[in-house]
Structure 1
Amino acid sequence: MQDGKQIKLQIWDTAGQESFRSITQSYYRGAAGALLVYDISRRETFEHVSTWLADVRRHANPHTTVVLVGNKCDLDGRQRQVTRDEGEKFARDNDIPLFIETSAKSAENVEEVFAQTAEDVYEKIKSGVFSPNEVLFVWFYLY
């Protein structure tokens, strides 16, 4: 954190699988952050983001930090099926304040996405929106 504080993240990776959907809904209640991750080279994963976002908004605290993440930005541009502009527009249109493209393979922006999300949640803890004891993140891989 910018003020030298440390924050411990508890992260659940739901893998975006429909078979886990009923289980993942129970994680939403205590989630301070939700990372919705889609594969920029597979349009169908981007098309599922709205369903997962609706679940987060239906079951999570209304103050939950939501981040839209387009993964695999290291790929050749010809493999891209979802443009950066489309991701940014979806985030804007759905009041998602944080959008970032990452690469799990090259680690590009991976630390950044966690740092930005943690900073946002930490500000909410400092303002009393969340208790430090109830903070966890739900990470949704949608592919």
Structure 2
Amino acid sequence: MVNIDGKQIKLQIWDTAGQESFRSITRSYYRGAAGALLVYDITRRETFNHLTSWLEDARQHSSSNMVIMLIGNKSDLESRRDVKREEGEAFAREHGLIFMETSAKTACNVEEAFINTAKEIYRKIQQGLFDVHNEANGIKIGPQQSISTSVGPSASQRNSRDIGANSGCC
């Protein structure tokens, strides 16, 4: 669950690790998804080279409004980098995706990737691009609660640690 503008948003995560054996199952997940994280390993060019195929699959089997974030993972392994950050940024720009680099090992930008995707989904809800009364689009409205916390770390927490695209962590 993440909180955005005082609303609780539940995220479900399906990790197929890019394995072809999961492709037919993954297609059914896309049908009910409001968002997807498309992840490649910055140290393995072949994972980047397969992005087009996975993106085509996602777009073919999902709503045209589905939010897709492209994530270059393993940013902690800069010395083993095989895919330049600029290549990931260019791919994302070309295909209308949100882009971020993360490190699952150090947790750098991991939470932010989920939050940024959820924020974009919420923005599309506000624009009326998702019908919140139709659970087929992957959005289920739960009980309304008064929530006093906001998304992500407080200003003091943000100032005390490096996060985001402009930081040196990724």
TM-score > 0.5 by shorter chain: yes
Cα distance in structure 2, aligned partners of 1:7 and 1:131: 15
Partner of 1:108: 108
Amino acid across the alignment from 2:30 = Y
| Structure with more of its chain in strand, by fraction | 1
Alignment of 1:85-100 (within 5 A): 85-96=86-97, 98-100=98-100
TM-score (norm 1): 0.87
Partner of 1:48: 50
Which has the higher relative contact order, 1 or 2, with Cα contacts under 8 A spaced 6 or more apart? 1
CA distance in 2, matches of 1:131, 1:15: 30
Deviations 1:64-113 (A, max 9, x none): 001100000011x33000010010011111121x1000000000000100
1:58-73 alignment, distance < 5 Å:
58-73=60-75
Task: Give unpaired runs (5+ residues) of structure 2.
Answer: 140-170
TM superposition outliers: structure 1 runs of 4+ over 6 Å: none
Identity score, percent: 61
Q: Which range moved further: 35-44 or 4-13?
A: 4-13
d(CA) in 1 for partners of 2:36, 2:83: 21
Per-residue deviation at 1:50?
0.6
Give RMSD over aligned pairs: 1.4
The alignment partner of 1:31 has SS state of coil
Structure 1 unaligned blocks of 5 or more: 137-143
Larger radius of gyration: 2
User: Are the equivalent residues in 2 in contact too, given 1:10–1:135 (CA < 8 A)?
Assistant: no
